[in-house]
Amino acid sequence: MSQGPQYPSWDEPQPAMPAAPWNPPRPARASAPVWEHPAPTAVPVWEHPAPTAVPVWEHPAPPAAPVWNDPAPAPPRWDPQPVVQPGYYGGPQPGYQPAAGSAIAITMRYAPIAFLLGVFTPVLTIDNQPIQAGWRRRIVVPVSPGPHYLHAHVPYLIPRRIGKADLPVSVAPGETISLEYRAPVIVFLRGAFGGPPQKYPGLVAAVLLSLVLLVLALGSGIAAAQNRALPLGPPARPATPPTFTAPAFPVDPTGPAVPTFPGAGGDKNGAKPELRPDAETRTVVGATFGAGDQTFTMAFGGWPFAFRAPDTWGCRAARTDLPEAQAWLCVDERDRTGGERTGVVLRACPGTCAAADKARLVTQWLGDAPGIRKAGGNTRFRQLATNLNGKYELKLSHFFTDPASGRKFQVGVQAEALTAKKAVVQKVVNEILSQSSF
C-alpha cells in the first residue's frame, strides 16, 4: 500500500482530485481512495486524461453541511457544588448528589449574656452555598467527600456583620464531621469555629466589664445615700400623748339615721362580706352548684356580697380598663387543662342609675354586638359557643342595690372554658347572680 498520494509534475495533465468532504463522492467512486489501491500495474486514476470530464473540484457542492463542522457534543460538566441563586438559604439542591454517609454537622450558639443575638438569624455557608441555619440546634448538611470551605457570621446593626469565622475542612467518604460555632460576646471580635466544645470569644472580658459597672453603680448609690442630710435625732415627743375625744354627732331622734359612705361598696373598713345561704338561686343559663359540690367561698374586702367557686380555684386582684371599677380574676389553680377562668368587676352606678346610665354601662361591658339576652329587668347576658380564644364564653351584667348602704352597683362577669368544662364556669356565673340579687 502506498504511503500517500504522489502528485504529477506541472507539465503533466492534472489528475482528478479525490472527492472533497463537502462534495459527496459519485456512486462510481464509493470505494476506498484509489491511491491506496494495491494493484501496482493499474494506471492511477489521477493520471488518466479526462479532457471532456468536468473536474471534480469544479462540481457544484450540494447544500449538505460538512460532517466535520457539526458541533461536537460538549463534554459532561462536573460541578462539585450545585448552582444556587444568591440569597437563597437552604440545603443542597436536587442536582447535588453527595456521597452516601458524608456530612458536616454544625451547632451554632451564643452566650446567655449576649441574649440580644437571639433576635438575629446566623448566616452559614458551605463552599459559598447558603445553608438554612439557627441557634442551638444541630444542622446536618450532606456533602461530597473532599475539601470544603465553611463560613459563618451574625448579621447585626453596627457593625453589619459580627463574629466572622472561616474554617476549611476535609471530609472522608462516609464520615460525619461535628463542628461548633460560637458567636463572640463583644461585637468587634471574631467568632470561634471548630470542633466542639468552643469558647465564647470575649466572655471573660464582658463579665469583668459588667462587674466593674456594677461596682461603680453600687458605689454611686452608697455615696448618694451618705450625702443626704441625716436628722440630728428623734423628734421630741411628749411623755404622755394627749387623748382627743371627738364630739358627739348631733342627731335628731325624729330625723333620718346618719348614712354610711363606703369607699367601693360594702363595709367602709374593708370587712369581708358573708355568704347568704338563703339567697334565691337564679340562673341565666346552664348548671348551678348542688349539695354535693366541693366549693370555697370568695369574699373580697369591701364588696357587698360573697360567692362560691370550686374548691380548687383561687382569685387574685386584677386590672380593668373600666373607670372606677374593682376587678378580680379567678382560675383553677390545680388543673389548667380545662382553661377555666372567670373575671369579676364591680363598679358603682352613677347618679340615680337611670335607664340611660344602665344602658351605657351595659354597652361598655357587653358591647353592642348582637346576641345580648335579658334575664330580668336588671340582668343581661351573652354566650358564645366559641370565642376568639377557641373557648366557650359567658358574659353577665347585673345591677343591684346594696341593702347596707343603699348604693347601686353593676357587677360584670366574663367566664370562659373549654367546651367540656363549660358547666363549671356556668355554675360560678349563676352563683354570682344569685348572691348579688338582694
Backbone angles phi and psi of 317, in degrees to 5: -65, 145
123 with 58, same domain? Answer: no
Torsion of CA 277, 282, 288, 289, to 10 degrees: 0
47 with 129, same domain?
A: no
- Average the pLDDT over 12-21 and give the result: 55
Structural domains of the chain, count? 3
**3-class secondary-structure state, position 124:** strand
Q: Give me the CATH number covering residue 307.
A: 3.40.1000
Are residues 302 and 414 both part of a single domain?
A: yes
Tell me: pLDDT of 309 over 90. Answer: yes
Q: What is the pLDDT of residue 240?
A: 52
Average pLDDT over the chain, rounded to whole? 79
Contact 372, 366 (CB under 8 A): yes
Candidate from 25-29, 152-156, 283-287 with smallest mean pLDDT: 25-29
What's residue 267's pLDDT? 43
Which has more pLDDT, 236 or 327? 327
Q: 220-232: buried (b, 16+ CB within 10 Å) or exposed (e) per residue? A: eeeeeeeeeeeee
User: What pLDDT sits at residue 346?
Assistant: 97
| Last residue in a domain, options 63, 80, 114 | 63
Report the pLDDT value the prediction gives residue 101, as an integer from 0 to 100. 81
Higher per-residue confidence, 413 vs 339: 413
pLDDT on residue 246: 40
Give me the phi and psi of 218, to 5 degrees please: -65, -40
Enumerate residues 6+ apart whose C-beta is below 8 A from 97. 144
Domain boundary among 168, 203, 238: 203
Give the model confidence (pLDDT) of 342-363 as tens digits: 999 999 999 899 999 999 999 9
**170 and 110 fall within a common domain:** yes
pLDDT tens figures, 180-234: 999 999 999 999 999 999 999 999 999 999 999 999 999 888 888 777 644 444 4
Enclosing domain of residue 363 = 295-435
- Residue range 270-281, pLDDT digits in tens: 689 999 999 999
Section 403-419 average pLDDT: 95
User: Where does the pLDDT of residue 64 fall: very low under 50, low under 70, confident under 90, or very high at 90 and above?
Assistant: low
Whole-model pTM: value is 0.42
* Judgement on whether residues 107 and 31 belong to the same structural domain of the protein: no
Which tops the pLDDT comparison, 387 or 258? 387
Report which of residues 250 and 311 the model is more confident about: 311
The string of DSSP codes covering 373-423 is: EESSTTEEEEEESS-TTSSEEEEEEEEEE-TTT--EEEEEEEEEE-GGGHH
Domain finish residue from 13, 38, 63:
63
Residue 260: its pLDDT value, please? 37
